[in-house]
Amino acid sequence: MLFWDGVLRGSAAGLLALLIVLFVRDGRRTLTGRLGVLLSLSGLAYLVLPTLDSAVDATWWRLLVHISTLSGPGLFWLFAASWFDDDFTLRMHHAMALAASVLLGLISDFGAVSPAMHVLLLDIIWRLSAIGMVGAGIVISLRGRQNDLVETRRRTRLVLSTAIGLVIAWVVLAELPLKGWPPPLGWRLINSAGLFALAATLTVTITGWRDPGLLAPVRTPTLAGPRAEADDSQLLARLDNDMKRERLYRQNGLTIASVAARLGVPEYR
């Protein structure tokens, strides 16, 4: 089991490192891309943490690794909000909520100076808050999914929100009955397999659905007409011709992707 735990943990770490490269390359100018980097780093920290023994508990870098793992649920919430909520703006109260969640987790893990029942209560409260953030991220991802005009991102909403949300929720809940450190090898193997499956899903999604609008902010339909831009007139004329003369709307299984391909423009146009 130790061998397979190392294989799965190393493979997941490699995929998360690749995701960081992809987020930096494709989304470095967007808030979503930057939060994607932080979320991937949190995943890397979580992969490393169970391999550390109690001898390094007092080191400062061990504390940084632990803080990074505790920030995972909150970062997922902000990542989903920045990607799928067109009205989202990162504000101070978001940072305060993330910091409060991390602080509560630190007190629960390292502040064991009260009776065991109080420590368990703190642990439960932190995990409930973490599950709440994960749930909020999933709700944001799925809300308005049918109104998203970019098909690849509409599929991404369902795949990524479900995969990330379930794995983070599993990690948060599975740690509750743990006693002592390091965790049992069987528990590590199950978590390694889950994290590898998640990293693989993320990597295949980001690399497989190559769309210039994938990491762009959500565009929602409005009642206003198209902006009068010089480069839109010919595009609108071609679309008008395809609809009125070619009766494109009668085509079975017509999608935004097929119309975009026919007109030679990205889906979000």
pLDDT digits (tens, 9 = 90+) for 167-188: 777 776 666 666 655 666 777 7
**Cα–Cα dist 190/186, whole Å:** 6
**Cα–Cα dist 39/32, whole Å:** 10
Domain definitions of the chain by residue range: 2-208, 230-263
**Superfamily name and number for 2-208:** Rhodopsin 7-helix transmembrane proteins (1.20.1070.10)
In this predicted structure, the answer to whether residue 81 has a pLDDT above a threshold of 70 is yes
What is the band of 71 on the pLDDT scale with cuts at 50, 70, 90?
very high
Q: Which residue has 């999604």 as its token pair?
A: 205
Tell me, letter by letter, the H, E, C secondary structure of 14-71.
HHHHHHHHHHHHHHCCCHHHHHHHHHHHHHHHHHHHHHCCHHHCCCHHHHHHHHHHHC
Q: What is the pLDDT of residue 246?
A: 80
Inter-axis angle of helices 116-142 and 92-110, nearest 10: 150
User: What is the separation of C-alpha 14 from the centre of its chain, rounded to a whole number of angstroms?
Assistant: 17
Cα distances (angstroms) measured from residue 62 to each of 51, 98, 105, 165: 11, 20, 15, 26
Q: What is the pLDDT of residue 24?
A: 85
Return the SS3 of 213. coil
**Cα–Cα dist 4/101, whole Å:** 32
In this predicted structure, the answer to whether residue 136 has a pLDDT above a threshold of 70 is yes
pTM over 0.75: no
What is the band of 113 on the pLDDT scale with cuts at 50, 70, 90?
very low
Q: What is the pLDDT of residue 56?
A: 56
Provide the residue count of the chain: 269
pLDDT digits (tens, 9 = 90+) for 2-56: 788 888 888 888 888 988 888 888 777 788 889 989 999 998 888 888 777 655 5
In this predicted structure, the answer to whether residue 225 has a pLDDT above a threshold of 60 is no
Across all residues in the chain, what is the average pLDDT?
77
**Cα–Cα dist 174/178, whole Å:** 8
Return the SS3 of 246. coil
User: What is the separation of C-alpha 97 from the centre of its chain, rounded to a whole number of angstroms?
Assistant: 18
pLDDT digits (tens, 9 = 90+) for 245-259: 888 888 777 888 888
Q: What is the pLDDT of residue 244?
A: 86
